[in-house]
Chains A and B, each alone.
Chain A
């Protein structure tokens, strides 16, 4: 039995949840059960039942790692699952660690692909700040998280049953305040094209051009840490070791130096484009195409050229 923990936004399953179901199916280790944890779980569990035959709904309120681990563990006990699959969101990577410890399981974190071989699971993942690809192996029980955008989302497979799941709520963490960040436009981690601005743009105002190019290309806007630290862009746009990891078809870095910590978030992009006035900037070493020049002159010209192409 495999248990899939299904992430949702309180109304719908997230894309990552459908990717996790695909991963569970790929393992082909017998029946699959799902669990929906959090708020408004009944409605989401109904949606989830189109994909898996049994869905547990654990109504536990706002997220804490403790509650998610407790609910997932209750679902493991109820289903008898020896493999748990979840999407490798930042939150999941916290509670799955608690769960794996409790299950005395091997934890395969942030995997790119995975397959079963008898009582073992083999997986690949990146390590060393995304510079190394490694193959790993663990014996059951296993907790596995799937890196977003590495697996095609699952298709519906019939209609399953929803069962409520009682969870003993742990204490210790009390949520006082949620500080939301508005998400507009294309989501950064899912975008096929990302346009990132760096400190070389010189000001928050200069990002109007970055946004315009992104709009023209249907892209998401990214930022470097230097830009976020300067307060020009919100942290939710930061790409890198301590920001988001992206892997789009096209990554355009404008006035970005290409520090290793930034590379850790984007070096697996299919094509990398850089605009920088310094021909020696490290970003050019990992770029497929580049323009050596002043971003204030090149960016407006790029917007024009992109618009012409789209017309």
Chain B
């Protein structure tokens, strides 16, 4: 069977974001494989380890996104496809572009992250499923194949969770609890350098345009009270919340 992961490269949540000309400037940020996509990659590797076959990772993004693909290859994925495109592309248009690659690869299933840590979009997985005419299971915490035609999966809803049986091929998106991603090992990193990484330049007209981005760091008061005398500190805090902030 063939298993496919769709990934993005995003700034590390810890790195400083700068705004330049009304746009987020990532030139100084540390870029990583999206942590929710890491769960997707790990799951695809585990499925391959259990059921055999092949694993493929696909990314849509600028040149530097190759690093995220190499990370996935170093974790153990067999080969990579990189759709090279600059700038913001909305998830619906992303799905349109990615669907072509997925259709050509014809995997048994696609796994991607539950939410992108840069555009905070949750739409890519379900939009891709729609583009392919496949079912989607979002926020998946457990998956098990039932032969080659179905999978049983557990996934989160707004309240609680449910267990579903899904006809394959299908798209799944990841959620915490799915697995613990492995770290790329040194031999894995060396091997990843020789693995196939196919580049395909694409152009796209995004349906959604970003007009302006800004960082609204709320100015916080940062009033710290020493808690050596807990009773006095607690009273002072409650007084401030009541009289100054007026929130209790």
Contacts and interface: CB of A to CB of B under 8 A. Distances in A.
A138 B245 contact: no
Most buried by A among B24, B159, B212: B159
A118 to B, nearest CB: 15
A25 interface: no
B17 A132 contact: yes
B160 A236 contact: yes
Interface string A221-256: 000010000000001100001100000011000000
A286 B148 CA distance: 50
Interface residues of A, number: 95
Interface-central residue, B92, B177, B213, by most chain A CB under 10 Å: B92
Contacts, number: 276
Interface in B208-248: 208-216, 218, 220-228, 230-231, 233-235, 237-238, 240-242, 245, 247-248
Contacts of A235: 156, 177
A135 B211 contact: yes
B237 A289 contact: yes
Nearest to B224: A290
B11 A128 contact: yes
A43 to B, nearest CB: 20
Contact of B230 (A285, A289, A297, A309): A297
B94 to A, nearest CB: 11
A264 interface: yes
A116 to B, nearest CB: 15
B248 A217 contact: yes
Contact of A97 (B126, B210, B225): B126
B209 A91 contact: no
B162 A106 contact: no
Name the residue among B96, B221, B228, B234 with the largest chain A CB count within 10 angstroms: B234
Interface of A: 63-66, 69, 89-91, 93-98, 100-102, 104-110, 122, 125-139, 170-181, 183, 193, 217, 225, 235-236, 241-242, 249-250, 260-261, 264, 267-268, 270-273, 275, 277, 279, 284-294, 297-298, 300-302, 304-306, 308-309
Interface of B: 11, 13-14, 17, 24, 35-36, 90-92, 95-96, 114-115, 117-127, 129-131, 134-139, 152, 154, 156-167, 170, 175-177, 207-216, 218, 220-228, 230-231, 233-235, 237-238, 240-242, 245, 247-248
Given A97-B92, A241-B117, A293-B228, 20 more contacts: A65-B136, A66-B135, A90-B156, A93-B123, A107-B207, A109-B122, A127-B119, A127-B120, A135-B211, A138-B207, A175-B162, A176-B162, A176-B165, A179-B162, A236-B160, A279-B224, A284-B222, A288-B222, A304-B234, A305-B237
